[in-house]
Amino acid sequence: MFMLMDFATALLLTIPLLFLHFKCNYLEHCKRQLFSSIGLLNFLSTYFMISFGDIFWIVLIWQLVFIWPICIAYYLYLYKQDQHSYYYWGLRKKHILWIGTLTIISIFMVFIGMYETNKKIIVFHQQVMQDFEDSTDRQLYLIEHTITPATLLGLSDQIEKVSGGQVRALTLPWRSKVIVTIDNREQKEFTYVRLYDGWKLDGIYRESYTMDVDRSTEND
């Protein structure tokens, strides 16, 4: 499932270069092979970097802040040079249909992968909490099995409540948040990052508390 989800994510991020690849087919002065090579390199680098969840955000920012704006600007430049009534968004209908089909399939694959990964990350989280609870040296366990153990130092005193809390997950291809609700009043968000074909607990970066309504009314 990781392979399909990573493939689809990398393809979605390469869509702007795919537009340029097809547009260059219509223009003799456009360097089609150059954009084909850049597109392939972009796809492969993105595909392999997704599994390094703790640094993939750098690749994502590079794509959205640098690659995408340049591709869009250059595509608009080419679009003004080559306009025809039978074009759709500057491309022939068959190429638009081809890109649109790839995009829809990729989005579908990403959502299916995220749905399946949600179930797996919940099981993995529960196993991590159980191993932490059973550990004879919990501080050493955090140092060896987490990325930012300093954010988890208070977990030891609440591990029984956390293990018995309601769990749900929100997953991206490179990062996942496991939200644990304790007694319907307290929430802890555990962040996990991709590490090759598995996950590693990063830390707790957000905690929230909800006052009991009945109790607050009595105090008034």
CA dist., res. 86 & res. 93, Å (int): 8
Higher confidence at residue 211 or residue 20? 20
Does residue 82 register a pLDDT over 80?
Answer: no
Predicted model pTM? 0.80
Q: Which residue has the higher pLDDT, 212 or 28?
A: 28
Question: Dihedral (C-alpha) 189, 5, 193, 157: value to the nearest 10 degrees?
Answer: 40
Query: Is the pLDDT reported for residue 34 higher than 90?
Result: no
For residue 31, what are the contacts with CB-CB under 8 A and spacing of at least 6? 24
pLDDT at 111 over 90: yes
At residue 143, does pLDDT exceed 60? yes
Q: What is the pLDDT of residue 102?
A: 93
Structure tokens belonging to residue 115: 């749905």
Task: Please provide the size of the chain in residues.
Answer: 220
Q: Is the pLDDT of residue 217 over 50?
A: no
How confident is the model over 94-103, as a mean pLDDT?
91
Residue 212 clears pLDDT 60, i.e. is over it: no
**Over residues 48-57, mean pLDDT:** 85
**pLDDT for res 104:** 96
DSSP 52: B
186 falls in which pLDDT band (50, 70, 90)?
Answer: confident
**Confidence at residue 192, expressed as pLDDT on a 0 to 100 scale:** 95
